[in-house]
């Protein structure tokens, strides 16, 4: 027993030696401790910040790697996002200088951490901080900013989640001097929280003062803010001459009365998103569309008249993206006028969700002519658009990247989804995102469906998202993809929605929250 | 790697690989052969969330090896500058780390805890700021 013990002891010594060779001349096996620091950092970069903090307690080398500032360039301190729960303001202040430092580029702060101490540290210790999100949405009251004297000066992107009732001026007036380099501004409102229409609406942020402080804005997004109306948009356009992209989705007080002036001032305005606003036809018809540079337009869920739509679409020089779903006035005559007198030759994205008054013939005619250049197409929310039309147009839309089909309303007919999948696999090889909104009871498939799904999976290699209504067919497709280890592709549409916005040129800058 | 060594692609020179033994090199070649028609990996987008759930089934199978081999592959990929192999092996290790307690991690990877009791207490305190209340 003794001699065996000695022998194994000798072998143990031999294998601990640094990448030495054992008796037979082979390199001894590597362990995680042999991995160079740069590679350990690479491994850590795949883990969440919360995990990384835990890893610091493993051993000295791991602690050193966990504290490497390169892992901390984009940090969210909102617990609901990152799981990081800052319990101690003092320790945060130390961290800013030691852990984040010059690597920090993006930070998210919840209301408890929006204090002048934090801003002073960020201003002094993080010279590369260019993106910031401030979440005031759950605020009960504002901290005292009277002693604030420093604030990050290199910000290019600022997202402010507004509260319903807290007035922001006490904070905003302290930062106006620091934010004139801002290029992208997001103001996120609380329209989702409003329960009754008659609730008092507070103008919690002073847009007129804000616009004076931010002349370099290119992208402005005011999302779901109940007090925003045309005067606010006009205010921004009076000072922000570089404006390229303006989004006011869900701002229901906006009527479009400012647009004539806005376009006259902002000659570079290319993208205008006004989903679910209160646009009025007479205002939109006043705009000198011929002189604008507009390329991307979202007017969905508004009450524009047929006359107005025809007027707009025949005068806009070259539209690249049009979202005009849920408009009663959008009927066949509009489509006809657009094709014959308008200019659809640059169109790459078309979203006609729930366009009840558009016939399938009109859609077919349009897609036959322009389908080959489309990258995004949504014909959802229309019971009369079934797999029949889709089968006819799939061979045309060869370059399509995003497709949304189907409606959640129950149909009288059934959708032959196997043939549909087959068609998609054979024609739409560039497909990246697909969503089928039909009710699972309306989907008709057979025991050949596995083959159709296989073909789709194998041919559409760029497919990264496939949304289906939760039901039997969803289970089958999900299982099929999971067997092939493509686990993240298939989603239930209650959890995840596909949007045509991905093809907007400013998409990356429009992402918020 | 050839660039780093100052060699031309057309040279007939022998390339020394003292840090990679032959069984590992065989596996690396196997990986590279399977992936030879892969499109080049996209530029690392700074703000892109790094995912670890997108390892293909072939790669997952290929990497069902003992830890020693896995780390040898990481070292080889690093030395030979093969980004795709380095990414997928690092993701695999990251997946082995996720969700484990520190003690479990030490056990899995045979890592010695070189902190003294007081040092360990200090590190714990240093990271209290991000723990749940």
pLDDT tens column, A291-310:
999 999 999 999 999 999 99
* B115 CB within 8 Å of a chain A CB: yes
Report the C-alpha gap between A418 and A403 in whole angstroms.
16
Q: Is the pLDDT of residue B129 over 90?
A: no
* B51 CB within 8 Å of a chain A CB: yes
User: Residue B129: which of A31, A83, A87 has the nearest Cβ?
Assistant: A87
CA distances from A213 to A127, A149, A208, B89 (A): 21, 17, 9, 49
- A150-154, A190-194, A253-257, B123-127: lowest mean pLDDT where? A190-194
Is beta strand A402-406 parallel, antiparallel or unpaired with respect to A376-380? Answer: parallel
Would the CB atoms of A85 and B123 count as touching at under 8 Å?
no
Report the C-alpha gap between B96 and B75 in whole angstroms.
17
Q: Hey, what are B96's tokens?
A: 């082995």
Would the CB atoms of B130 and A43 count as touching at under 8 Å?
no
**B54 falls in which pLDDT band (50, 70, 90)?**
confident
Report the C-alpha gap between A432 and A429 in whole angstroms.
9
Averaged pLDDT of chain A: 87
Report the C-alpha gap between A321 and A375 in whole angstroms.
10
What backbone torsions phi and psi does residue A297 show, to the nearest 5 degrees?
Answer: -140, 130
Would the CB atoms of A31 and B55 count as touching at under 8 Å?
no
Q: With beta carbons under 8 A apart, name residues in chain B contacting A84.
A: 129-130
- Among chain A residues, the shortest Cα distance to B77 is held by A39
Report the C-alpha gap between A371 and A393 in whole angstroms.
8
CA of A48, closest CA in chain B: separation in Å? 9
Q: CA angle, A347 as apex, A379 and A398 as ends, to 5°?
A: 65
Would the CB atoms of B71 and A31 count as touching at under 8 Å?
yes
Question: What confidence score (pLDDT) does residue B133 get?
Answer: 47
Question: What confidence score (pLDDT) does residue A284 get?
Answer: 95
**A426 falls in which pLDDT band (50, 70, 90)?**
very high
Q: CA angle, A179 as apex, A175 and A182 as ends, to 5°?
A: 150
Q: Where do runs of H (alpha helix) occur along B1-133?
A: 22-34, 57-62, 67-80, 83-97, 102-109, 117-126
What backbone torsions phi and psi does residue A446 show, to the nearest 5 degrees?
Answer: -120, -170
Report the C-alpha gap between A285 and A289 in whole angstroms.
9
Q: Go through A357-368 and write b for each residue having 16 or more CB atoms within 10 A of its CB, e for each that does not.
A: ebebebbbebbe
* B108 CB within 8 Å of a chain A CB: no
3-state secondary structure of A296: strand
Tell which B residues from 68 to 87 touch A, by Cβ distance under 8 Å. 68-69, 71-72, 74-75, 78, 86-87
Report the C-alpha gap between A14 and A340 in whole angstroms.
83
Which residues fall within 8 angstroms of residue B18, CB to CB, at 6 or more apart? Answer: none
Would the CB atoms of A85 and B57 count as touching at under 8 Å?
no
CA of B10, closest CA in chain A: separation in Å? 30
Question: What confidence score (pLDDT) does residue A86 get?
Answer: 82
Burial class (CB in 10 A: 0-12, 13-18, 19+), A110: buried
Would the CB atoms of B132 and A488 count as touching at under 8 Å?
no
Q: With beta carbons under 8 A apart, name residues in chain A contacting B101.
A: 54
Q: Which residues pair with A134 in a beta bridge?
A: A109, A160
- Among chain A residues, the shortest Cα distance to B38 is held by A461
Q: Do A73 and A106 contact (CB within 8 A), yes or no?
A: yes
Report the C-alpha gap between A166 and A204 in whole angstroms.
6
CA distances from A36 to A56, A73, A337, B107 (A): 17, 21, 65, 20
Rg (CA), chain A: 28
Q: Hey, what are B66's tokens?
A: 């003992």
- Among chain B residues, the shortest Cα distance to A28 is held by B68
Question: What confidence score (pLDDT) does residue B1 get?
Answer: 64
Q: With beta carbons under 8 A apart, name residues in chain B contacting A51.
A: 97-98
Q: With beta carbons under 8 A apart, name residues in chain A contacting B106.
A: 58-59
Q: Is the pLDDT of residue A13 over 50?
A: no
Would the CB atoms of B46 and A74 count as touching at under 8 Å?
yes
- Among chain A residues, the shortest Cα distance to B123 is held by A57
Would the CB atoms of B130 and A73 count as touching at under 8 Å?
no
What kind and span of H or E run contains A444? strand A443-444
Q: Is the pLDDT of residue A197 over 80?
A: no
Would the CB atoms of B52 and A46 count as touching at under 8 Å?
yes
Which residues fall within 8 angstroms of residue A235, CB to CB, at 6 or more apart? Answer: A207, A208, A211
Is beta strand A415-416 parallel, antiparallel or unpaired with respect to A376-380? Answer: unpaired
User: Residue A484: which of B57, B112, B113 has the nearest Cβ?
Assistant: B57
Chain A to chain B, count of Cβ pairs less than 8 Å apart? 129
The predicted model gives A313-320 an average pLDDT of 93
CA of B115, closest CA in chain A: separation in Å? 6
State the complex-level ipTM.
0.89
Would the CB atoms of B105 and A43 count as touching at under 8 Å?
no
The predicted model gives A185-205 an average pLDDT of 76
Looking at A258-396, which runs of residues are DSSP E strands? 271-273, 296-298, 321-323, 349-351, 376-380
Report the C-alpha gap between A152 and A129 in whole angstroms.
7
Question: What confidence score (pLDDT) does residue A17 get?
Answer: 35
- Among chain A residues, the shortest Cα distance to B72 is held by A30
Of B127, B128, B131, B133, which to mutate for an interface test with A (greatest number of A Cβ within 10 Å)?
A: B127
Q: With beta carbons under 8 A apart, name residues in chain B contacting A34.
A: 71, 75
**A5 falls in which pLDDT band (50, 70, 90)?**
very low
Question: What confidence score (pLDDT) does residue A28 get?
Answer: 59
Burial class (CB in 10 A: 0-12, 13-18, 19+), A333: middle
Question: What confidence score (pLDDT) does residue A511 get?
Answer: 73
pLDDT tens for residues A26-73? 455 778 888 899 999 999 999 988 889 889 999 999 999 999 988 999
Which residues fall within 8 angstroms of residue B42, CB to CB, at 6 or more apart? Answer: none
Q: With beta carbons under 8 A apart, name residues in chain A contacting B128.
A: 87-88, 91
The predicted model gives A2-28 an average pLDDT of 41
Q: Virtual CA dihedral for A249, A251, A252, A253, nearest 10 degrees?
A: -140
What kind and span of H or E run contains A7? helix A2-16
- Among chain B residues, the shortest Cα distance to A88 is held by B129
Q: Is the pLDDT of residue A19 over 60?
A: no
The predicted model gives A237-262 an average pLDDT of 93
Q: Do A114 and A148 contact (CB within 8 A), yes or no?
A: no
Q: Do B72 and B24 contact (CB within 8 A), yes or no?
A: yes
Of A59, A64, A508, which to mutate for an interface test with B (greatest number of B Cβ within 10 Å)?
A: A59
Q: What is the pTM of this model?
A: 0.83
């Amino acid at each position: 027993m003794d001699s065996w013990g000695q022998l194994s002891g000798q072998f143990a010594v031999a294998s601990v030696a640094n990448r030495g060779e054992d008796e037979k001349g082979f390199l001894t096996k590597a362990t995680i401790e042999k991995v160079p620091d740069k590679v350990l950092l690479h491994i850590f970069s795949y883990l969440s910040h919360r995990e990384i903090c835990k890893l610091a307690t493993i051993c000295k080398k791991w602690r050193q790697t966990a504290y490497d500032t390169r892992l901390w360039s984009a940090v969210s301190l909102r617990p609901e996002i990152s799981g990081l729960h800052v319990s101690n303001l003092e320790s945060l202040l130390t961290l800013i200088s030691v852990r984040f430092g010059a690597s920090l580029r993006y930070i998210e702060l919840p209301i408890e951490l929006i204090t002048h101490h934090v801003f002073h540290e960020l201003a002094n210790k993080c010279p590369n901080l260019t993106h910031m999100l401030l979440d005031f949405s759950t605020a009960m009251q504002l901290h005292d900013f009277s002693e604030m004297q420093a604030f990050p000066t290199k910000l290019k992107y600022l997202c402010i989640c507004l509260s319903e009732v807290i007035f922001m001026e006490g904070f905003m007036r302290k930062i106006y001097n620091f934010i004139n380099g801002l290029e992208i501004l997001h103001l996120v409102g609380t329209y989702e929280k409003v329960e009754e229409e008659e609730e008092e609406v507070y103008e919690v942020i002073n847009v007129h003062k804000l616009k004076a402080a931010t002349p370099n804005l290119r992208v402005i997004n005011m999302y779901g803010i109940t007090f925003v109306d045309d005067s606010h948009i006009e205010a921004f356009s009076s000072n922000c001459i570089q404006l390229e992209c303006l989004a006011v989705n869900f701002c229901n007080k906006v009527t479009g009365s400012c647009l004539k002036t806005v376009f006259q001032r902002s000659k570079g305005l290319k993208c205008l998103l006004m989903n679910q606003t209160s646009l009025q036809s007479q205002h939109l018809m006043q705009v000198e569309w011929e002189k604008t540079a507009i390329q991307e337009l979202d007017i969905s869920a508004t009450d524009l008249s047929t006359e107005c739509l025809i007027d707009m679409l025949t005068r806009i020089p070259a539209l690249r993206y049009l979202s005009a779903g849920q408009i009663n006035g959008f009927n066949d005559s509009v489509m006809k006028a657009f094709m014959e007198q308008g200019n659809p030759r640059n169109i790459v994205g078309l979203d006609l969700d729930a366009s009840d008054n558009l016939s399938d013939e009109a859609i077919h005619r349009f897609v036959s002519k322009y389908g080959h250049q489309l990258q995004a197409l949504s014909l959802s929310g229309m019971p009369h658009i079934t797999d029949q039309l889709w089968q006819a147009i799939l061979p045309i839309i060869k370059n399509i990247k995003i497709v949304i089909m189907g409606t959640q309303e129950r149909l009288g007919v059934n959708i032959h989804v196997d043939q549909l999948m087959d068609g998609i696999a054979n024609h739409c090889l560039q497909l990246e995102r697909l969503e089928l909104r039909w009710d699972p009871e309306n989907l008709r498939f057979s025991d050949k469906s596995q083959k159709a799904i296989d073909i789709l999976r194998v041919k559409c290699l760029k497919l990264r998202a496939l949304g289906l209504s939760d039901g039997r067919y969803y289970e089958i497709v999900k299982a099929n993809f999971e067997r092939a280890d493509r686990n993240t592709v298939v989603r239930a549409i209650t959890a995840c929605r596909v949007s045509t916005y991905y093809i907007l040129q400013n998409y990356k800058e429009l992402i918020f929250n | 790697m050839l660039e780093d060594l100052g060699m031309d692609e057309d040279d007939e020179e022998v390339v020394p690989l003292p840090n990679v033994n032959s069984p590992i090199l065989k596996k690396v070649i196997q990986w590279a052969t399977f992936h030879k028609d892969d499109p080049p990996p996209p530029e690392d987008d700074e703000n892109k969330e790094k995912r670890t759930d997108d390892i293909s089934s072939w790669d997952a199978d290929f990497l069902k090896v003992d830890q020693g081999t896995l780390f040898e592959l990481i070292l080889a990929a690093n030395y030979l500058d093969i980004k795709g192999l380095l990414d997928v092996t690092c993701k695999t290790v990251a997946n082995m780390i996720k969700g484990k307690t520190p003690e479990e991690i030490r056990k899995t990877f045979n890592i010695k805890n070189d902190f003294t009791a007081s040092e360990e207490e200090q590190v714990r305190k240093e990271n209290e700021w991000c723990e749940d209340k």
